Structure 1
């Protein structure tokens, strides 16, 4: 099974948009796909269909499977550890790692994605970040960034941090930010500084075809 960790250089940049498009592209090739988001905050149980877990569940062909996609769900739109505390729960990195490993070991899939929450260094628990979870799982990373002014610094910093932990950055996806500088110019600038990692453009379009990204990642 091919598995990747979908990480962001920050929050609300399009991780789920990219993940869903990639899963759909893999399914169109006849591949069995699956997705897991170990923890989500800002989840409204009265409208689950609007959530990232529901979008991922739809992308893998199980529209009612959002509970399996994200087993730890919290209402408050805060860092997961803070959102969990408001509901009398405490997240630990050992539990999140165990959740992910159990899920990965139990997959009957050709292609699977684990999606983080927030950015590379966003806190997940009171004493650990997304980076700690990625390091423990040791999956290749699909790094999603925006196209806003300043994204180059965020991308290059994230790549350095990930590689310093011994992680492989499989590809960088620049997801189009609204009211941001010219997308192609942003990508050209990034390619001038990061020549080792493939960089792909993701228009903020629900019909975006991620087939070229799928080809790259599955080669």
Structure 2
């Protein structure tokens, strides 16, 4: 039976867990895997949580299935067994996991609902992706579907479904239509959020359990701030 819990020690919001996988609600600022900053990654926090909760001696197995950008919040899935990891990797690689994001933007999109298709090229020097309307060398095709689902006082709430998973895809593609995400200085928003977050949240994830073969529908609560609270219906 899946369990929902909150680890106060690690401030870890667990959305789903069983013997094969664990799903958490990532906070802004957390990195999913270790990088050159040397900051403690979310994967290590989850390992500590598992070791403590289940009294596991020695190294805890944990497989990273996918990632979210550091300033982004929401659903992140980890594999708890070597059996589950390749199956989850296959699900995500073959687009059998449906990812739905919420994004808050200041400018009204050109259309209330649309499909965006670009070829994105990453520049590793500044860790930024650039959109092109046709294929260029070393670019990757990016497709997303967005819809305006709520008009706020000063912003618009968009719901986004991804067909592809490219580097900074949502951030790049929304910026390309004049709708940078709130707080996203890298892609053209005019000011940062106080906590260095951006208003992009991995809200829903639907996929088949890699071992039990049952449908899983995960929902991540929104971060606690006034703009996100205004997005609730």
Band of TM-score, shorter chain:
under 0.3
The TM-score, its normalising length taken from structure 2, stands at 0.27
* Larger RCO, structures 1/2 (Cα 8 Å, 6+ apart): 1
More helix by share: 1
The TM-score, its normalising length taken from structure 1, stands at 0.28
